[in-house]
Amino acid sequence: MNAFRFQNPTALYYGKGLIEEHLASETLKFGRKVLLVYGGGSIKRSGLYGKVLGLLVAAGVETFELSGVEPNPRLTTVRRGIEICRREGVELILAVGGGSVLDCAKAIAMGTVYRGDVWDLYERPGEARATGALPLGTVLTLAATGSEMNSGGVITNWETKEKLGGGSPYTYPKFSFCDPENTFTVPRDQTVAGICDIMAHCFEQYFTPTPDVPLQLHLMEAVMKTVVEHGRAAVDHPDDYAAREAIMYAGTMALNGMIGMGVTGDWANHTMEHELSAEYDIPHGGGLAILFPHWMDYVKDVDPHRFASLGAQVFGVDPAGKDVGRLAAEAIARVREFFASIGAPQRLRDYDIGPADLPRLAGQAVRFGDIGQFRKLGASDVLAILRSAL
Amino acid sequence: MNAFRFQNPTALYYGKGLIEEHLASETLKFGRKVLLVYGGGSIKRSGLYGKVLGLLVAAGVETFELSGVEPNPRLTTVRRGIEICRREGVELILAVGGGSVLDCAKAIAMGTVYRGDVWDLYERPGEARATGALPLGTVLTLAATGSEMNSGGVITNWETKEKLGGGSPYTYPKFSFCDPENTFTVPRDQTVAGICDIMAHCFEQYFTPTPDVPLQLHLMEAVMKTVVEHGRAAVDHPDDYAAREAIMYAGTMALNGMIGMGVTGDWANHTMEHELSAEYDIPHGGGLAILFPHWMDYVKDVDPHRFASLGAQVFGVDPAGKDVGRLAAEAIARVREFFASIGAPQRLRDYDIGPADLPRLAGQAVRFGDIGQFRKLGASDVLAILRSAL
């Protein structure tokens, strides 16, 4: 494995009733002026907004609000949040929602403290560094991004059509509350996209060039196996507590750093998908579900044994009498089948994306250099993958 | 799963060269007066002592020493350490060694701050609570206890022949350095005992009564599978870096809380083993290797499916055509085989333990009440297990 330093300071709360019991006391550790960040109003319909606000008000907290955070959260929204924080002297940001809301809140937390323009931190991460962040707490409503227990996030600049990731050691949430019941009302297609995102986070780490990481690979297999075993139930029975909990917890573990210590991730699919989302505003998880099987076909010869392991360990493919090439192909077929079984999109045309823009998008994806680590991809590779996904 | 709060603040360093690069700077975050805690001198023979001391001295650190920490660390040694810390105004304790050294250092860290007698924190954890702790850093030399990334530890009171666990939110190491090369010189029997301890930590959590913990079980299987795949190589080829690294990392992950969130552990075998170690001063891991298969035979009917899963997922037992009872028996046989394959002790008589003391030890094991969670065990149950292990 690579030499590494790991530290994840987030206090993670899982289960029913913990928000009622601990949200106010966790909040008061950081101050009495709180910016509530949330999305399009689903938390008002579900009653979560009322519950959270009631607890904060009862604890004597003064709240400010930033609502309407978009599914691919926009830089303009981040800027509005920063302005509120600076003007009102906000002491804690409380993000209530899914990964987009949390990512937006992280950008606001860094951007409020940073003296330059917040977009620098995403566009020029080599030169511009976060110098601190407002404390951040989260109440999660969607199993997907793992943003509740990591320091990263993704922001879209709609003017330049760029979707870029960023983060800092300061943007780990101080606390995160994950109650599976808060995911019961998530619409079916968002549940599906979330599940695809969780699988994608595992794939990005599983297809690593780093040698000698046996435990890490087995930990990733454990997360993927859990998603495959319980994903369908979470989609078909939205109020199946155990299934929702298994998926929510898988989402946290897939990207809180614990399964990937000392592992160089690939992340080419995320880079390609960000171009699609920045151009067409499609759901991140849906884009990943489309791209990954095609990427797998394109790169599988780099290490077919890794794919064979995926098939055997995650999907229970019986290896008896099959050569490694066939096992790799079978594993990729099982990935496709799983995504199809939960109703994930399978082709770019499912989002009305045609061939015209693809050469430009491929060029855009590699504008900072070749992408991927398992196999390095240039513009022509990306274009081939995008075309096969049409 | 159980509702839970999880937070593990330890900064974990893994790999070659990180001690040289970061030990001094991590130390200086906490102060310039450091108590070095270590064992019987093996770190002097290996050169690690000289390296660590050299780095600290070059950084202007004033060091004090507590050496000779025993394999089952004793309360008398803890008291000596507390006295040094109080007298000298120590600002950081740096434990260099295996789990015993680290556990001793945790007790000193808590005991220095606690106004009462440190043994209270182990003997009466319900009433006596740690009120703080000196900061603690560690340099690990033995893959076993996971103490490098958790808040617990075990201390033996030789006067009363009691071996008890304790801990506090304050005793997570601030930082831990794990370089697999520092385990190359560990004697074979200690390597074996460490591997048994790691497997035991997984068993204690795997045999849980908590329902709906699919991901946690898969994560535990991942750790166990890694130990089974690489344990033999680590024993037979002490300088096999990849094998030593896999085992060391498995030891950390087995008991840093990450694989067991929301899971009620069993821990009956640890309680029984502590009585054996307190009476006969035998290696903890060796005692566990002896006890666990007998405990498994005794309790397997509680949930034979759990045992069947262990066999299939960890040992690759083919379930075709076998009923669950046979699969459970086969899993236990595979556990025995694995322990035998690395040369672990298999019978109490391997440590010259005979039947005479067993009734008294069984009574002692349950003196705070029945033990275990997967199946509750009273004195007669414990006695039956101990007798079968003779």
| A41: pLDDT strictly greater than 90 | no
**A4, A10, A215 member nearest B15 (Cβ):** A4
For residue B368, what are the contacts with CB-CB under 8 A and spacing of at least 6? none
A206 and A63 fall within a common domain? no
Residues B240 and B168 in one domain: no
Question: A25 touching B, CB under 8 A?
Answer: no
Same domain? For B31 and B135 the reply is yes
Q: Residues B36-89: pLDDT tens digits?
A: 999 988 999 999 999 999 999 999 999 999 999 999 999 999 999 999 999 999
Sort out which chain B residues have CB atoms less than 8 A from A253's CB and list them.
215, 219
Q: Is B304 on the interface with A (CB under 8 A)?
A: no
Distance from CA of A25 to the nearest CA of B (A): 14
Q: Return the sign of the alpha-carbon dihedral for residues A39, A40, A46, A47.
A: positive
B214·A230 Cβ contact <8 A:
yes
CATH number for the domain harbouring residue B169: 3.40.50.1970
Residue type, A116: G
Question: Which residue range forms the structural domain that includes residue B229?
Answer: 188-388
* Domain identity same for B174 and B193: no
- Per CB-CB distance under 8 Å, the chain A contacts of B137 are none
Distance from CA of B263 to the nearest CA of A (A): 12
If one counts the domains in chain B, the total is 2
Average pLDDT of A112-132? 95
Beta bridge partners of A4: B14
DSSP characters for A184-211? Answer: TTS-HHHHHHHHHHHHHHHHHHHS---S
Torsion-angle region of B347 (φ positive above 0: left; ψ -120 to 50: alpha; else: beta): beta
* Both structure tokens of B250: 């498995």
User: In this structure, are residues A162 and A156 in contact, taking their beta carbons and an 8 Å threshold?
Assistant: yes
Does residue A379 fall inside a structural domain? yes
Q: How far apart are CA B386 and CA B276, in angstroms?
A: 10
Give contacts of B29 with chain A, Cβ < 8 Å.
none
The CA–CA distances, whole Å, from B26 to A170, B59, B305 equal 18, 11, 46
Whether A216 is in a domain gets the answer yes
C-alpha span between A76 and A69 (Å, rounded): 10
Per-residue pLDDT at A182? 97
Q: Are residues B161 and B251 in the same domain?
A: no
- Length of chain A (residues): 390
Of A150, A183, A216, the residue at which a domain comes to its end is: A183
Alpha helices in A116-181 (DSSP H): 120-123
B343 - beta bridge partners? none
Record: contact B9-A10, CB cut-off 8 A: no
Cα–Cα distances in angstroms (integers) from residue B65 to residues A299, B93, B146, in the given order: 55, 10, 23
List Cβ<8 Å contacts ≥24 apart for B310-318: B310/B206, B310/B221, B310/B224, B310/B335, B313/B218, B313/B221, B313/B225, B314/B221, B314/B224, B314/B225, B314/B228, B315/B228
Name every chain A residue with its beta carbon within 8 A of the beta carbon of B12: 4-7, 261
Same-domain check for residues A156 and A214: no
Could you tell me the two tokens for A67? 């609502």
Whether residue B2 is contained in a domain is answered as no
Residue A192 scores a pLDDT above 90:
yes
Shared-domain flag, residues B142 and B278: no
- Same domain, yes or no, for A130 and A215? no
Q: Is residue A110 part of a domain?
A: yes
Residues A363, A264: one domain?
yes
Classify residue A38 as exposed, middle or buried by CB count within 10 Å of its CB (0-12, 13-18, 19+).
buried
Helix, strand, or coil here: A131? coil
Whose structure tokens read 């130390």?
Answer: B27
Can you tell me the distance from the alpha carbon of A231 to that of A245, in angstroms, rounded to the nearest whole number?
Answer: 11
The last residue of one of the domains, among A156, A183, A210, is A183
Q: How much of chain A, in percent, has pLDDT values that exceed 70?
A: 100
Question: Taking CB atoms and an 8 Å cutoff, what residues of chain B touch A245?
Answer: 1, 212
| pLDDT (average), residues B6-32 | 98
Please report, for chain A, how many H helices and E strands are present, in that order: 15, 8
**For range B140-145, the mean pLDDT:** 97
Question: Of B151, B167, B183, which one is at a domain's C-terminal end?
Answer: B183
Q: Does residue A242 register a pLDDT over 90?
A: yes
Q: What is the distance in angstroms between the Cα of B95 and the nearest Cα belonging to chain A?
A: 19
Give the pLDDT score at A313. 97
Give dist(CA A276, CA B173) in Å, integer: 44
- Summarize pLDDT for B265-308 with one digit per residue, the tens: 999 999 999 999 999 999 999 999 999 999 999 999 999 999 99
Q: What is the pLDDT of residues A74-110, one digit of tens each?
A: 999 999 999 999 999 999 999 999 999 999 999 999 9
**pLDDT of res. B41:** 86
Contacts of A249 in chain B (CB under 8 A): 1, 215, 261-262
The answer as to whether A2 is a domain residue is no
Closest among A171, A164, A147 to A255, alpha carbons compared: A147
> DSSP label at B351?
G
- Nearest-by-CA chain B residue for A318: B318
- Cβ pair A11:B7 closer than 8 A: yes
Tell me if B4 is assigned to some domain: no
The pLDDT score that the predictor gives to residue B214 is: 98
Q: In the predicted model, what is the mean pLDDT of chain B?
A: 97
Q: In CATH, what number is assigned to the domain containing residue B317?
A: 1.20.1090.10
C-beta of residue A90 within 8 angstroms of C-beta of residue A35: yes
Identify whether B269 is part of a domain. yes
**d(C-alpha B8, C-alpha B114), whole Å:** 22
Give yes or no: residues B161 and B197 share one domain: no
Q: What tens digit of pLDDT does each residue of B337-360 get?
A: 999 999 999 999 999 999 999 999
Tell me the shortest Cα–Cα distance from A91 to chain B, in angstroms: 22
Question: Residue A219 is nearest to which of B4, B222, B245, comparing CB atoms?
Answer: B222
Mean pLDDT over B106-112 rounds to: 98
Which of the residues A172, A199, A219 would you substitute to probe the B interface, choosing the one with the greatest number of B C-beta atoms within 10 Å?
A219
Taken in order A233, A237, A242, A243, is the CA torsion positive or negative?
positive
Contact A221/B at CB under 8 A: yes
CB contact (8 A) between residue A14 and residue B262: yes
Partnered with residue B136 across adjacent β-strands are: B93
Interface test with A, best of B5, B21, B228 (most A CBs within 10 A): B5
**Helix ranges, chain B (H):** 18-28, 42-46, 48-58, 75-88, 99-113, 120-123, 188-206, 214-236, 241-254, 268-280, 284-299, 304-315, 324-341, 358-365, 379-388
Confidence band (pLDDT; 50, 70, 90) for B176? very high
pLDDT score at B31:
97
Q: Does the structure show a pLDDT above 90 at A221?
A: yes
Task: Residue B245: list chain A partners with CB under 8 A.
Answer: 1, 212
Please check whether residue A298 lies inside any domain of the structure. yes
Closest-CA residue in chain A for B256? A258
- Which SS3 state, helix, strand or coil, does residue B94 take? strand
> Which residues on A lie below 8 Å from B6 (Cβ)?
11-12, 14
Contacts of A262 in chain B (CB under 8 A): 14-15, 249
Contact call for B11 and A7, based on CB within 8 A: yes
Same domain, A163 and A81: yes
Region at A82 (left for phi over 0; alpha for psi -120 to 50; beta for the rest): alpha
Contact A359, A390 (CB under 8 A): no
* A126-173 confidence digits (pLDDT tens): 899 999 999 999 999 999 999 999 999 999 999 999 999 999 999 999
Two tokens at B347? 């019978």
H or E segment and range at residue A270: helix A268-280
Mutate to test the interface with B, among A1, A2, A4, A5 (most CBs of B within 10 A): A5
Q: Kindly report the CA angle at A220 between A374 and A326, in degrees rounded to 5?
A: 60
Please state, as a whole number, how many other Cβ atoms lie within 10 Å of the Cβ of residue A375: 19
pLDDT score, position B126: 87
Contact between A289 and A201 under an 8 Å Cβ cutoff? The reply is no
pLDDT in tens, A17-29: 999 999 999 999 9
Q: How close B258 comes to chain A (CA, Å)?
A: 8
Instruction: Spell out the residues 6+ positions from residue B219 whose beta carbon is closer than 8 angstroms to its own.
Output: A219, A222, A253, B258, B259
A8 touches chain B (CB under 8 A): yes
pTM: 0.98
**Is it the case that residue B184 has pLDDT exceeding 90?**
yes
Are the beta carbons of B7 and A2 separated by less than 8 Å? no
**pLDDT tens profile A297-352:** 999 999 999 999 999 999 999 999 999 999 999 999 999 999 999 999 999 999 99
ipTM of the complex: 0.97
One domain, residues B48 and B152: yes
